[in-house]
């Protein structure tokens, strides 16, 4: 496949590996695209997995619905299930980074029957993140999350002639390899893209806290970069409290951007986890 549908929305997707292999779905974060996984996909394919890496809602040109309610967790999860269904995968492995990691947690909490395993990079369990906001410096790290609730300002901060270059520098300073930055920001600058992508943040509060506190029973690997400027160690350490299934926590000497920065290490960990 190079595209799939969920209702009226059409998503671009990268589909590689043997058609009969177990399906691994890779979910990128903000402000990435499926290109975040460029250096991870070959290793998974070499291990005989069928790999699906979509451009998610807001990032795919034909999947930018209006209004923040279109970007709730239920809708984001529905897109992934639609992809799995289109691929004929009753059960699959999910790997998510950043916001893609949040979607992976949602899938593990709400649809464990569809998952073989979950691998999450950077993003702690949602309930662990909420506790970290109250018990650590996480609230100061997450200042941008609050700013992104405002109208118009986030779009200006990320795409305007003044804000765009500053946002680019901030991404590079945080550890994102410069070779990836311009490709990601070119998508963000497309008509309607910035508002759609920022709506992921604006819709976050629309999910009930009780939905975000469910325990995870599927086999889970959680990988945390110890130099992450956006997500502190407290949420990472609390995550184990919310996983009752087989669980592995792997802290790495890396930044937030592990798929791009250390793809060989990430690939090795994923293959070990989903093959166990």
Q: What is the pLDDT of residues 198-232, one digit of tens each?
A: 999 999 999 999 999 999 999 999 999 999 999 99
pLDDT at 271: 98
Is there a cis peptide before residue 31, judged by omega within 30 degrees of 0? yes
| β strands within the chain, DSSP E | 3-6, 9-16, 23-27, 50-54, 92-97, 115-121, 220-225, 247-252
The DSSP 8-state label assigned to residue 146 in this structure reads H
pLDDT of residue 20: 95
Percent of the chain at pLDDT > 90 equals 99
* Residues of the domain holding 196: 3-274
* Predicted pLDDT at 136: 96
Instruction: Please tell me what DSSP assigns to residue 209.
Output: G
Helix (H, G, I), strand (E, B) or coil at 205: helix
What SS3 state is found at 51?
A: strand
By annotation, the residues acting in catalysis are 98, 201, 256
Residue pair 219/245 in contact by the 8 Å Cβ criterion: yes
Q: Provide the mean pLDDT of the chain.
A: 97
Sequence-distant (6+) residues with CB within 8 A of 120 are 95, 96, 97, 101, 104, 105, 220, 221, 222, 223
Radius of gyration of the chain (CA): 17
Residue 107's φ and ψ, nearest 5 degrees, are: -60, -45
pLDDT for residue 276 is more than 90: no
Q: Given a cut of 90, is residue 258 above it in pLDDT?
A: yes
Domain count, the chain: 1
**Res 176: pLDDT:** 97
What's the whole-number mean pLDDT along residues 250-255? 98
Q: What DSSP designation does 216 have?
A: B
Would you say the pTM of this structure is higher than 0.85?
Answer: yes
Show the CA angle centred on residue 275, arms to residues 271 and 276, nearest 5°. Answer: 120
Q: Please write the tens of the pLDDT for every residue from 20-35.
A: 999 999 999 999 999 9
* Euclidean distance between CA atoms 57 and 60, whole angstroms: 6
pLDDT at 165 over 90: yes
> Mean pLDDT across the stretch 87-98?
98
> Residue 19: which CATH number?
3.40.50.1820
In 59-155, the DSSP E strands lie at 92-97, 115-121
Per-residue pLDDT tens over the stretch 36-81: 999 999 999 999 999 999 999 999 999 999 999 999 999 999 999 9
């Amino acid at each position: 496949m190079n595209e799939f549908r969920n209702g009226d929305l059409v998503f671009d997707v990268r589909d590689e590996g043997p058609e009969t292999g177990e399906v691994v779905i890779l979910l990128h974060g903000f402000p990435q695209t499926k290109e975040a996984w460029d250096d991870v996909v070959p290793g998974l394919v070499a291990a005989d997995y069928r790999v699906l890496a979509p451009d998610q809602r807001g990032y795919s040109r034909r999947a930018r619905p209006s209004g923040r309610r279109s970007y709730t967790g239920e809708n984001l999860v529905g897109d992934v299930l639609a992809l799995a269904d289109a691929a004929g995968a009753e059960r699959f492995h999910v790997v998510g980074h950043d916001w893609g990691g949040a979607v992976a947690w949602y899938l593990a909490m709400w649809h464990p029957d569809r998952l073989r395993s979950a691998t999450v990079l950077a993003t702690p369990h949602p309930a662990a993140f909420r506790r970290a906001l109250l018990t650590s410096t996480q609230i100061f790290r997450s200042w941008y999350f609050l700013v992104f609730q405002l109208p118009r300002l986030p779009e200006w901060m990320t795409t305007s002639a003044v804000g765009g270059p500053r946002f680019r520098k901030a991404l590079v300073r945080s550890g994102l390899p410069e070779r990836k930055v311009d490709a990601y920001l070119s998508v963000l600058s497309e008509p309607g893209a910035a508002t759609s992508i920022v709506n992921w943040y604006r819709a976050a509060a629309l999910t009930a806290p009780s939905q975000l506190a469910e325990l995870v029973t599927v086999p889970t690997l959680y990988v945390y970069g110890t130099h992450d400027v956006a997500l502190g160690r407290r949420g990472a350490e609390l995550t184990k409290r919310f996983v009752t299934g087989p669980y592995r926590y792997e802290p790495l000497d890396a930044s937030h951007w592990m798929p791009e920065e250390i793809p060989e290490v990430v690939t090795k960990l994923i293959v070990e986890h989903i093959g166990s």
